[in-house]
Amino acid sequence: MSKTPSGIEVPVVVTADMAPRGDPEPPAAYPFTRGIFADGYRGRPWTIRQYSGFGSAEESNQRYKFLLQEGQTGLSVALDLPTQCGYDPDDPLARPEIGKVGVSLFALSEMETLFSGIDLGSISTSFTINGSAAMIYAMYLATADRQGVPREKLTGTIQNDILKEYVARGTWIFPVRPSMRLIADSILYSNEVTPRFNAISIAGAHVRDAGCTAVEEMAYTLANGLAYVDELIRRGGSVEHFAKRLSFFFYVHMDLFEEACKFRAGRRVWAKLLTERYGVKDEKALHFRFGVVCGGSSLTLAQPYNNVVRVAIENLAAVLGGAQSIFTCAYDEAFQIPTEFSAELALRTQQIVLHESGVASTVDPLGGSYYVEWLTARMEEEIRKVMEEIEAYGGAEKAIEDGWLQQRIARRALEKKRAKDAGERVVVGENRYRREDQSESYGEVFRLDPAVSGRVLEKLERLRQSRDAAAVERMLARLETAAARDEENLMPYLVDCCHAYATVGEMVTRLKACWGEFREPVRL
Amino acid sequence: MNAPLKGKRILVAKPGLDGHDAGAKVIALALRDAGADVIYTGLRKSPGFIVRTAIDEDVNAVGLSILSGSHKELTREVIAGLRAAGAPEVAVFVGGTIPPEDRAGLVEDGVRAVFTSDMPLAAVIGELARHLA
């Protein structure tokens, strides 16, 4: 192998004269190549946060309690597609999708059940939610209110990154402009009301899984990050203040060094961009904090147990890159919701890396390696180059609205698939060492209870009967009126709607009436 | 590459709410390179919309890309819709995250073939060409 998966030529050996001159700066010193904390994981280990959720709130509540009891340290909520796309479960488009890829949280009643017996004041919760992120964040605040937990104690993250949804993940609802407003509303509100909460996690993971390279993943994500910073500044936010609560999210795939160096380079580029462009001085605001997911499209359907090994290597890369939170996919996650067995194995993988491998005992153990410092510098250069291309096109928002970035990623995905078909990119068990007689068995099969969708629909019907319909209507009408005024922050209105048990679908419908829907640019 | 799908009209569709379109786009591009006239629907289309488009565009085949676990329901609706619309000859294919134990059931429901992400593009194109010959 002479090239990294991003196409960087790898020398047979990197010698002292090839590596960047001088020793890298110490950890916690600008531009943070070696990490943002002086004591690395000694002070605080990464958060073990397994993405999980399926069916109705009751089933997911059970799974969360199981994971917490087995040593998971943060929750990560997977939501079903109707909730993510802003449809009530009884919408014809929603019905076949109820509870399939995550838990159905159509209204506050469901979130109260989801966290029943779990103290929101003492656990951090991450929600992979984007199009309807503001509604789910509002619902989380309402749930905390009901639990009697003061809002300022809440920790966690909402993904809330709509730009990459237009590019890769597809759970958009509104057009770009009003979506950007809603994101700014939630971030600015969160900075005041829940100062320990990350109201955005700017994510590259999904564009990566859709086919782009590690370099492009970082470049596209940082470009989106700049678009959000510009939006927040336009809305009167202080970058020194809000940048402290921006967080990021990435995939880790199989090239160990490229992945670790991607994060070292990313930390550096982000800190430099904020300094160069906005003159940010506060070091905390320059910190590039990120979570990762290991697995995804690097996992295979063929010989699925091999995925356990892949995820362990990726987990190691994430730690060597200095991730703040890690999710390791279960080996069967490429084709089903993990069973309790595979979910536990994925959790144990992280615990073995943390407690047995020794990699977490010193900060940035790779720092100073000729190859690692050389590759970090090369990746920084390449990331900057891709960012310049986006800038030359007119910035991330325009590149996405026009479908330019989507087209670029689709072409890259085709290239990658062809390289795999041709055997240029080796995938063990799939295009190398494949056994024609191999069984497709992967152990226990996860079966979602087929009665889930009926139960969710029943609960929705019961809620509609039991809530104060006049109060719901009053809150929704206020929301719609406020949406028409650009200078209003919609968060307080959304929290009121949630408290009145308005559904996500109802809130979204009112906002669509005001803003319309996103029209996808379909360019092949 | 020659053009084994020359003259064939194929609709690549994303039914339901699933937003993972990398596979659909890769297939659409590869089929186009193999000579087919490809129409891609974009995301979040109802089975009804897909059936109408298939008929309006007079396609030989519909490829449904589904990664959300809703493949059984959505596929059945599209096949039933095509039959009801008097177009049972339109061949339906499914790709995406389809657990091995669900594949036979889809074929029983009328799907011609199920494709998974580990299949080489050449194999997908070859199988399509065989079914559409």
Domain ranges of chain B: 9-60+68-132
SS3 for A114? helix
Note the pLDDT of residue A330: 96
Neighbour count for residue A482 (Cβ, 10 Å): 17
Q: Decide if pLDDT at A1 tops 80.
A: no
Q: What is the longest distance spanned by two Cα atoms in chain A?
A: 74
Q: What is the band of A438 on the pLDDT scale with cuts at 50, 70, 90?
A: confident
Q: Does B103 contact chain A (CB < 8 Å)?
A: no
C-alpha neighbours within 13 Å on the C-beta side of residue A389: 11
User: How far apart (Å, rounded) are the C-alpha atoms in residues A186 and B113?
Assistant: 46
What is the DSSP code string of A224-278? HHHHHHHHHHHTT--HHHHGGGEEEEEEE-S-HHHHHHHHHHHHHHHHHHHHHHH
Q: What is the pLDDT of residues A194-238, one digit of tens each?
A: 999 999 999 999 999 999 999 999 999 999 999 999 999 999 999
Domains along chain A? Answer: 40-421 (3.20.20.240)
SS3 for A497? helix
Q: Do B46 and A417 touch (CB under 8 A)?
A: no
**Close Cβ partners of B77 (under 8 Å, ≥ 6 residues apart):** B15, B47
Q: What does pTM read for this prediction?
A: 0.95
Q: What percent of chain A has pLDDT over 90?
A: 91
Among residues A6, A189, A173, A182, which one has the least CA distance to residue A85?
Answer: A173
Q: Provide the CATH topology of domain B9-60+68-132.
A: Rossmann fold (3.40.50)
Q: Does B99 contact chain A (CB < 8 Å)?
A: yes
Residues of chain B with pLDDT under 70: 1
Q: Considering only CB atoms, which chain B residues are within 8 Å of A421?
A: 120-122
Q: Is the peptide bond before A365 cis (omega within 30 degrees of 0)?
A: no
DSSP letter for B26, please: H
Q: Considering only CB atoms, which chain B residues are within 8 Å of A171?
A: 17, 19
User: How far apart (Å, rounded) are the C-alpha atoms in residues A183 and A465?
Assistant: 32
- CA B98 to chain A, closest CA, distance in angstroms equals 7
Note the pLDDT of residue B41: 96
- Angle of helix A340-355 relative to helix A57-69, nearest 10 degrees, comes to 30
Note the pLDDT of residue A440: 66
Q: Decide if pLDDT at A170 tops 80.
A: yes
**3-state SS record for A59-76:** HHHHHHHHHHHCCCCCEE
- Using CB atoms, which residue from B30, B43, B120 is nearest to A170? B43
Q: Decide if pLDDT at A441 tops 80.
A: no
Overall average pLDDT of the A467-485 stretch: 98
* Amino acid at the residue A319: V
Report angle CA A284, A287, A292 to the nearest 5 degrees.
Answer: 140
Among residues A238, A294, A219, A319, which one has the least CA distance to residue A6?
Answer: A219
Give the start-end residues of each E strand in A11-163: 47-48, 51-52, 75-77, 125-127, 156-158
Q: Do A81 and B18 touch (CB under 8 A)?
A: yes
* CA-based end-to-end distance of chain B: 18
**Close Cβ partners of A222 (under 8 Å, ≥ 6 residues apart):** A266, A269, A270, A273, A383, A387
Give yes or no for a contact between A452 and A247, defined as CB atoms under 8 angstroms apart.
Answer: no
Give yes or no for a contact between B65 and B21, defined as CB atoms under 8 angstroms apart.
Answer: yes
Note the pLDDT of residue B1: 54
Q: What is the pLDDT of residues A261-288, one digit of tens each?
A: 999 999 999 999 999 999 999 999 999 9
- Using CB atoms, which residue from A84, A410, A440 is nearest to B26? A410
SS3 for A265? helix
Give yes or no for a contact between A267 and A31, defined as CB atoms under 8 angstroms apart.
Answer: yes
Neighbour count for residue B6 (Cβ, 10 Å): 11
Place of tokens 């462009």: A277
Q: What is the pLDDT of residues A303-353, one digit of tens each?
A: 999 999 999 999 999 999 999 999 999 999 888 889 999 999 999 999 999
Residues 421-450 of A with CB under 8 A from B: 421, 430, 440, 445, 448
